[in-house]
Amino acid sequence: MVDFSNEPTMKGFFAPTRFEADVYDCEVIGRVPTELNGAFVRLGGDWLYPPRFDDDSPFSMDGYINMFRFKNGIVDYKGRWVKTPRFKADLAAHKQLFGKYRNPFTDDPSVRALDRSVQNTTPLAFAGRLFTLKEDSLPYEIDCNTLETVGPYNFHGKYKSLTFTAHPKVDPVSGELICYGYEATGLESNDVFLYTINKQGEVTRELRFKVPYVSMVHDIGLTQKHVIIPVFGFVTSMERLKEGKVHWGWDSTKPAYVGIVPRDGEAKDIRWFKGPERATVHTLNARTEGEKVILEAPIYDSNPFPFFPPVDGSKWDPTKAKAYIRRNTFNLASKDDGFTEEKLFEMNVSDLGRVDDRYLTMPYRYAFTAYSDKQRPFDQWKAGNLGGRVNNCYGRFDLATGRMNSYFAGDTHSLQEVCFVPRKNGAEGEGYIIGMASNYAEMRSELVIADAQHLEEGDVVRVILPFRATAQVHGRWVDESDLPFA
């Protein structure tokens, strides 16, 4: 029996959708730029069955991949579940067999031998293949035309970590993929395996090292010379897991560590810098300037996720769960293990920020992310009252001038993660921003596309879906030439 009626936050716009869909030649408002050829691929989660435990994390939702395919000004939509062994086992049993986030001790005994990953975080197109990523397992390969699940992928057996990050970086200069797995040898292991994979998809380098304490290493920074590894706050232990708790808890006494290792270095070359309590879940960009390594990221003061509660039993503090765009500077010439931190903008933003990926690892000027502008109108009569939680704007943050340009989605809408699509041969920031808007008045999702250099002018085009699309964690633009599209 499928029954979501007892879950107060899974109603209205936020109810599970639970269907697969094809929409051919989507309705559009405006004109789709014909230079946009490729696909906007989104990955997120939906509940096939209700969670087994009330206090489980939304990161346990079943993976759902969907794609807006752009070709010659026409847009088709396709959405499919990621059909993992977990999905299939649940479907066969007609119920949720899997327990709390990354805690196999809470699973039904019948599925203890199965891969329990849900593949719900980031899509990746690399070496001619499309993957779904979830940081607790290997990538899953997906057929880029049908979105059907092919299965786990280990780069011809050369990728040895049991896990694969949701945030690998593609070096725009070499085309290499820099990726890693943490808890690489199993639950509660402090092993990290860092890999370089060439653009043909062959593993060319592996570096194994250990982190100061077992923690979530969700994202990294990459420069032309260094890899930056943030470790912060979240802790786990086998005792905790055997007690039936969710994988992570937050320990505010743990310092934030940032490891810096040369891309051609060994484990002994890692420098660990130490700072105050912070949460660097996602990064924007990084660069090496002489002896200085600079990381810019939307960084939280403390724990952003109430479903990974404080280990000391205190109450989760929403006032510290706000991300600000900050710059961390690490001086490799210094013998000190500290680093400097600057807040670049005083306004808090969504931590799902992006840059023009052609400038990844290098000096750059623009960052893009969503934020909430309380001065903009919100039509509660039509949309309902979100309690002011709406991310109604995308901002282009100019790190050179400190200025910000803004795109407003509308007075009944909120925005999910932004993505930047560069114009071919254009300068930095020349192109489009693209992202999914939730229309709370019409109970539908809309893909918004705006000129990144003229955000105040609003949409260039809006692609209308006649239903709610599943919630996204991350979305990526994939150029026509990057995958064997039909």
Partner 1 sequence: MPENHRSAALARRDFMGALLGAAAALRMVRLVPLAAAFPGVSSRPVVSFHLDRPYLDRSGTALPYYPPPGARSAQIFSNLDEESVRRKHCYL
Decide: 408 and 391 in contact? Cβ < 8 Å.
no
Neighbours of 146 (CB within 10 A): 11
Q: How far is the CB of 214 from partner 1 (least distance, A)?
A: 22
Residue nearer to partner 1 on the CB measure, 9 or 401: 9
Identify the residue whose tokens are 């994202």: 219
Q: How far is the CB of 386 from partner 1 (least distance, A)?
A: 4
Contacts with partner 1 by CB under 8 A lie at: 7-14, 55, 58, 304-307, 315-316, 318, 321, 350, 352, 380-387, 389-391, 414, 416-417, 438, 440-443, 471-473
Distance CA 86, CA 260 (A): 36
The token pair that represents 81 in the structure block:
């579940």
Instruction: Return the SS3 of 89.
Output: helix
Q: How far is the CB of 14 from partner 1 (least distance, A)?
A: 6
Instruction: Return the SS3 of 288.
Output: strand
Closest CA to 121 of 109, 144, 139: 139
Q: How far is the CB of 475 from partner 1 (least distance, A)?
A: 11
Residue nearer to partner 1 on the CB measure, 318 or 484: 318
Burial of 37 (0-12, 13-18, 19+ CB in 10 A): middle
Residue nearer to partner 1 on the CB measure, 386 or 464: 386
Across the strands, what pairs with 86? none
Residue nearer to partner 1 on the CB measure, 215 or 350: 350
The token pair that represents 199 in the structure block:
């653009």
Q: How far is the CB of 143 from partner 1 (least distance, A)?
A: 26
Handedness of CA 476, 295, 139, 471 (dihedral sign): negative
The token pair that represents 214 in the structure block:
């077992």
Q: How far is the CB of 365 from partner 1 (least distance, A)?
A: 26
Cβ within 8 Å of residue 412, ≥6 positions away: 378, 379, 382, 383, 439, 440, 441, 442
Residue nearer to partner 1 on the CB measure, 242 or 382: 382
Residue nearer to partner 1 on the CB measure, 62 or 171: 62
DSSP string, 226-276: EEEEEE-SEE--HHHHHTT--S-EE-TTSPEEEEEEETT--GGGPEEEEES
Q: How far is the CB of 469 from partner 1 (least distance, A)?
A: 13
Q: How far is the CB of 282 from partner 1 (least distance, A)?
A: 11
Residue nearer to partner 1 on the CB measure, 257 or 305: 305
Residue nearer to partner 1 on the CB measure, 159 or 324: 324
